[in-house]
Chain A
Amino acid sequence: MYYGWHGRILRVDLRRRQVQAETIDPQRAKDYLGGRGWAIRYLYDEVDPLVDPLSPQNKLIFATGPLTATPAPTGNRYMVITKSPLTGALAHSNSGGDFPTWMKRTGFDMFIFEGRASEPVYVWINEDRVEIRPAAHLWGKDVHETTDLLLAETDPEAKVACIGPAGERLALMAAIMNDKHRAAARSGVGAVMGSKNLKAVVVMGRKDPRMFDEAGMRELSVTISKEVGADVKKGSNLRIYGTAYVPQVTNTLGILPTYNWQTGVFEHVSQIDGVALREKYLVRHKPCYRCPIACGRVTRIPDGKYAGEGEGPEYETIASLGSACGVSDLAALTKANYLCNELGLDTISAGMTVAAAMEMYEKGYIPEEHIGQPLRFGDGDALIEMIRKMAYREGFGNELAEGSYRLAEKYGHPEIAVTARKQEFPGYDPRGSQGMGLLYATSNKGASHMEGDVAYEEVFGVPVKIDPLTSEDKAELVKRFQDAFALIDASGLCVFLAVRYVFTKERMILPTRLAQLMKLTTGVDYTPEEVLKAGERIYNLERLFVLKAGSTEDTLPPRMLYEPLPEGPAKGKVVELDKMLPAYYQYRGWDAKGWPTLQKLQELGLA
């Protein structure tokens, strides 16, 4: 008898068109928590790390956590785990919206998609009624059309996760979009879905997970909602501006990626920040299901050549499609954002790849005839055209769809690509936030802010502000954050709330409240130390997968290591990776080459 978890996994064999329900072993459920944890355990056991990510031998896993679809505020996340075609290592991408709760209500915690369908299909999961249906009529359609058609032919109350044309064409930065505007964006998870001829997953159900302590859970959830409410009343940046308030912050610190990371200060930042967005295009706030923070925004560009309606842009999108491409026209970058959502692209990798192409064009490394048009920094129309071509792999878009690492290498200038494990950086220049540099270099999924976002301390002062320019004392901080984020991603909570529950005032990471929520939900007598140890277990198992996949180098591109920032508060700084990395390995209990030691693996129950 399970609480919190259903304890059930749905396995879908796309080649044989067979589905099967399985039960998870209780000890495994407990040790790996759920979500990202359960998924890496299954991926590690079932997929050879050396497999071609776009072959039928790869598996695509959707996973919810024990807190997904519970009364816990923000308990509405799911994860997509697979071998990444972009990094050649591990993908674990997280998303919210409504889909995660509906997915959990099917009565399954996790879906495993394996093999490749002989023709396009979608999977319709209505509790125990699971159908693999033809999707030829959806192939080629964008995310909005696909979603609308699927709701019409299944159940208008159902929820849809699907790929757009980018995923169908195996663009390496293709996302899986849910509820039209939400994305499990990074590392090319959409391309893996496309390679399986799986256009969409539609979910519906009424099986709420059982709570071990229903009354206790309700009481704690009300307390949490009240706390968030108090914050909102004091003036929450996330509520009022969404993440779009951040460009002013990073620009002030001199770490806003600008002109493909040639500088960290964008002179036009005030034209693309949250204040401008709110004044010009905001329609309303939009929370994910039952979220009291409501950081999402519905926006509309009423007229002109960029007219349209959608959601966003979020901070990362403003940094990648905006400042990194030198685009100061908020309407143009918002339109490019809508296009990414409709065609199913990760805005970070898409924008950063166009930024790299712009720099190479301006420096004469890519001839204009290859691109088919000029491609200068600041050209919003060119950005939009490149995004479209990337998704369809049309013309030069076929090169863009490979990501900036492969693009720069092809044109003989690998130094232009700003990537780690071949994945584009998110919007914090690590030369001015040293801990982020160590994070990008070591992240299992390649450069990402969502695998231990030490910007919370270095940039946002949560729980306290630390000096982002020093590399001292960052090794242990990064390790702790990575373990804590693995825990959060396993739990099913959103980082925006959960990050508040993993610190103590003394800056130690001790997830007291998270452990309490997990205990009330599952009935397992979790302590804060145990759940944090589970986070470390998950992190190390992922690391083993990444190393065995051959992604053994924890490094950063030359621009970050040898080209100092030219201006701003971080002027003159490069990432001092060599000072941090050995100490990091030591804190991790890994050897000098970054492999987990036998002792560490035994301690975590992994050997």
Chain B
Amino acid sequence: MRVRVKLIATYRQHLPPGTRGDTVELEVAAGSTVADVLQPFGIPLDDSSVIVLNGRTVPLDTPLQEGDTVAAFSAIAGGGEAGKGMPDSSVLESPIL
């Protein structure tokens, strides 16, 4: 069956090179779940991502139907709780891709 995967903002970098826009259409096996279709893209399947099915909040093991859209974006908005690395002034002024 055909489903669509939409990866928003920073998660666009997980789309295959050359993708136009932020959405790809995929052929997946019947019975595939939300988690199954996102796995190959390398999207973190934890609280650091927001993942919705047709715009709705569902468990990640929800099976997909023909024509469904799974969308994901990062919940990281700049100020998390753990990690390393200190931003310096050059980082502040230069665009990060």
Chain A residues close to B by CB (< 8 Å): 222, 225-241, 245, 248-249, 252-254, 270, 274-275, 278, 282, 284-285, 287, 292-295, 459-469, 496-497, 499-500, 568-570
Contact = CB atoms under 8 A, between A and B. Distances in A.
Q: Which applies to chain B's interface (DSSP): helix, strand, loop or mixed?
A: loop
Chain A at the B interface: SS class: helix
Contacts of A232: 78, 87, 91, 96
Interface string B67-96: 000010111111111111111000111011
13 contacts: A227-B83, A231-B78, A232-B91, A233-B85, A234-B80, A235-B76, A239-B96, A254-B55, A282-B95, A285-B93, A465-B51, A465-B57, A569-B56
A225 B77 CA distance: 14
Interface of B: 6, 8-10, 12-13, 21-22, 47, 49-52, 54-57, 71, 73-87, 91-93, 95-97
A539 B66 CA distance: 48
B60 to A, nearest CB: 11
A496 B78 CA distance: 8
Contact of B12 (A236, A275, A496, A570): A275
Contacts of B78: 228, 231-232, 236-239, 292-293, 295, 496-497
Given A230-B85, A285-B92, A500-B81, A461 B12 contact: no
A319 to B, nearest CB: 16
A231 B78 CA distance: 6
Contact of A238 (B51, B77, B82, B95): B77
Contacts of A282: 95
Contacts, number: 148
Given A229-B91, A461-B75, A252 B6 contact: yes
Contacts of A236: 10, 74, 76-78
Given A225-B86, A460-B75, A569 B55 contact: yes
A464 B57 CA distance: 11
Contacts of B51: 465
Given A227-B83, A228-B87, A469-B56, A240 B10 contact: yes
Given A241-B10, A465-B75, 6 more contacts: A226-B85, A227-B81, A235-B10, A252-B6, A292-B92, A465-B57
B94 to A, nearest CB: 8
B33 to A, nearest CB: 17
A285 B49 CA distance: 24
B52 A252 contact: yes
B92 A500 contact: no
Contacts of A226: 83-86
A11 to B, nearest CB: 36
Contact of A237 (B21, B22, B73): B73
Nearest to A74: B79
Q: Which 3 A-B pairs have the closest CB atoms?
A: A230-B83, A569-B55, A229-B87
Given A232-B91, A233-B85, A468 B76 contact: no
Nearest to A73: B79
A234 B83 contact: yes
Contact of B80 (A227, A237, A270, A568): A227
Contacts of B87: 225, 228-229, 232, 292
B43 to A, nearest CB: 12
A247 to B, nearest CB: 10
Contacts of A570: 55
B57 A466 contact: yes
Nearest to B88: A229
Nearest to B21: A270
Contacts of A227: 79-83
A253 B52 contact: yes
Nearest to B6: A252
Contacts of A287: 92
A297 to B, nearest CB: 10
A239 to B, nearest CB: 6
Of B22, B57, B73, B87, most buried by chain A (CB within 10 Å of CB) is B87
A393 to B, nearest CB: 38
A467 B49 CA distance: 15
A158 to B, nearest CB: 23
Nearest to B8: A248
A252 B79 contact: no
Nearest to B23: A270
B22 A275 contact: yes
Nearest to A236: B78
B96 to A, nearest CB: 6
Contacts of A274: 9
Contacts of B74: 235-237
A275 B6 contact: no
A230 B48 CA distance: 14
Contacts of B86: 222, 225-226, 229
Contacts of B71: 252
Given A270-B21, A292-B92, A468-B57, A248 B9 contact: yes
Given A231-B83, A239-B78, A285 B10 contact: no
B79 A237 contact: no
Contacts of A293: 78-79
Nearest to A222: B86
Contacts of A229: 83, 85-87, 91
A559 to B, nearest CB: 20
Nearest to A459: B50
A275 B19 CA distance: 14
Contacts of B13: 235
Contacts of A499: 79
A309 B53 CA distance: 39
B68 to A, nearest CB: 12
Contacts of A253: 52, 55
